[in-house]
A and B are shown apart, each in its own frame.
Chain A
Amino acid sequence: MILEAKGIEKSYGDLEVLHGINFTVADNETFAIIGPNGAGKTTLFKVLTGESVANAGRVLVRGKDVTGMPDFRRARMGFGRTFQVARVFSEMDVYTNVTVAIEAYLSGQDRLSSPWWAWAPTAEVRREVEELLSRFGFARSRWRSEAQYLSHGDRKRLEFCITLATQPRILFLDEPTAGMSPPDRKEITRLLRTLKKETDVAIVMTEHDMDIIFELADRLMVLNYGEVIASGTPDEVRSNPRVRDVYLGQEMSHA
């Protein structure tokens, strides 16, 4: 059991967004959180990752309470996160983006061998950067392109690249394919599938694209108005009449 959420409650002023959410995520499991807009998915995400603090409830990682832990410490513990709209360091080139990530990871683990006043990245850092870049399909000719001039799909790919540079053990993906073109979507899906197969990282994701959810998720949880209305394997959830009512039916009529 890598992640455990116990009775998470969150409200913004009088507006109660989450009412007592409970769930667990096992190692190497892909866990999806779905629900209509305004169901509280993003809020739950923020509580899990440490961006906002829950009013009640606890978040445990391997049994250790991390509820009040700031986000950078969670990152050092092995939390990785991508955002709905890819967030990379826009005014830096592709290579530097990944360098920053690798150095941040090594420094967080007290394993960065160069001092803070070092001018050039160490050979070890450069090797890891180049390895990651080629693994994520960034050709050498694009290493010096500034991130702000990348296409949406490439930025998303770069975001994955810098997130995985920190070798996360649990990965939080907020709508990983939102606003992407079909080929980019396919590529992200393929990337996630490879990641699941090759590493034992646990994934917590929200997503609106049901095809991707049903393809990737081992288990999922449906939120509606801040409550869990169903959870289980994709097949169990799909056949749940209440879920069809509040979410899937609606989603299908949209399509």
Chain B
Amino acid sequence: MNRLALLAVAGLFVAFAAAPLVVNSGLLFIAGIVLTEILFALSWNMLFSYAGLASFGHAVFFGVGAYTAAIFLKYDYGLNFMLVIGLGTFLGGAAAFVVAMIVLRRTSGVTLAILTLALSQLMVTVIGYSGYLGRDDGIPSIPRPVVQLVVFAVDMRNQIQAYYFILIMTVLAIVLMWLLLNGYLGRRMKAMRLDPERAAFLGVDIWRLRVFAFTISGSFAAFAGCLMVPWAQIVTPATVSWLHSAQPMLATLLGGAASFWGPFVGVIVMSAVGYLTRTYAGLSELLIGTCLLIVVLLAPQGILGLLRRRVVDEQMVEDVAEHSVDSARTEKEIA
């Protein structure tokens, strides 16, 4: 991570924090949705860029969280919303664990993609049959809760309080994810993605680590789903569909794969394009498509990769120069 990219990310965080002061409530609503989408995209990227697994049905886990939160808020079971978030996150992780146990047994490539995709469509169908889950119409007009924290309460019926609640929860989750992925777990997962066979020969149980990564990633996606519901106040089967599953992939490609912050930038760019072209039907898809094409052809490392490239080139020149000195020395020693 170089200074330029870091600055870009920091700037975006500041923009999110300042949003309620400068934008109207319509834009603020979008900003809140974007936050949960960022978390969702980061959870997908955790699997893709670190564990080397491409899930094509990641919206299922987001959906588990979203529907859990929706049920508890809509039918007013009177559970503290923090506990609902905990429960939704746990259920999302459990769902991911079960899916991983089934689909990761023998596959990690194309079959994994197809199986996860099929699973997400299966869930859409199941929701369609359940009156409790609102069938194809979903669960509308979900009331916003008053979240009792230990010493004070956050009244989510107040737009500003709700926004900051979502912002703070998202930031906490992102920090936690960043710490995990830059620590022991992240190193191990990245080693597995780069060369699973090599990692296995160092004693890493690849299958177990894949299941573990899948479970953690599913939990984060479900957490994002839980946060989205009281803000959007509606959840529909579209939340679970393959189209929603595709969003993190596009964001990751656009922002830059193989980096933690890539999807963060990608989601924001995609949402900005979507917002700026909202009055022209179809233009947003056209622009996103064109952007993706340009990125894939000209900057396969994504937007962040483009910012970083200059620094890497310099580093490489240094390394090569240093190395030629080193090897000249070694040759002399041996001679």
Contact = CB atoms under 8 A, between A and B. Distances in A.
- Asked if chains A and B come from one complex, the reply is yes
Interface residues of A, number: 51
23 contacts: A70-B200, A72-B201, A87-B195, A87-B197, A88-B195, A89-B191, A91-B190, A91-B258, A99-B187, A101-B202, A103-B187, A104-B199, A104-B203, A108-B202, A116-B184, A117-B185, A119-B183, A142-B326, A145-B323, A149-B320, A150-B323, A151-B323, A166-B203
B24 interface: no
Interface of B: 179-180, 182-185, 187-188, 190-191, 194-195, 197-206, 258, 315-316, 319-320, 322-323, 326-327, 330-331, 334-335
Contact of B316 (A75, A149, A165): A149
List the 5 shortest-distance A-B pairs measured between CB atoms, nearest first: A108-B203, A119-B183, A104-B202, A75-B203, A72-B200
Nearest to B205: A72
B200 A71 contact: yes
A80 B195 CA distance: 15
Contacts of B194: 89-92
Contact of A81 (B190, B195, B201, B334): B201
A183 B198 contact: no
Interface of B is mostly: helix
A79 B319 contact: no
A118 B191 contact: no
A24 B324 CA distance: 43
Contacts of B179: 117, 119
B197 A187 contact: no
A227 B189 CA distance: 40
A154 interface: yes
Given A117-B183, A187-B330, A162 B322 contact: no
A224 interface: no
A236 interface: no
A187 B331 CA distance: 9
Contacts of B185: 116-117
Contacts of B191: 89, 92, 100, 104
B210 to A, nearest CB: 12
A154 B187 contact: no
A89 B319 contact: no
A76 interface: yes
B327 A153 contact: yes
Interface string A151-163: 1011000000011
A139 interface: yes
Contact of B183 (A79, A80, A118, A146): A118
A253 interface: no
Interface in A153-198: 153-154, 162-163, 165-166, 183, 186-187
A104 B190 CA distance: 13
A80 B182 CA distance: 27
A121 interface: yes
B204 to A, nearest CB: 5
A120 interface: yes
A114 to B, nearest CB: 6
A49 interface: yes
A121 B184 contact: yes
Contacts of A121: 184
A96 interface: yes
A91 B194 CA distance: 7
Contacts of B182: 119
Given A117-B180, A186-B334, A100 B201 contact: no
Given A72-B201, A119-B179, 18 more contacts: A75-B200, A76-B203, A80-B201, A100-B188, A104-B203, A104-B204, A107-B203, A116-B185, A117-B183, A118-B183, A137-B330, A141-B322, A142-B323, A146-B315, A154-B323, A162-B202, A163-B201, A187-B330
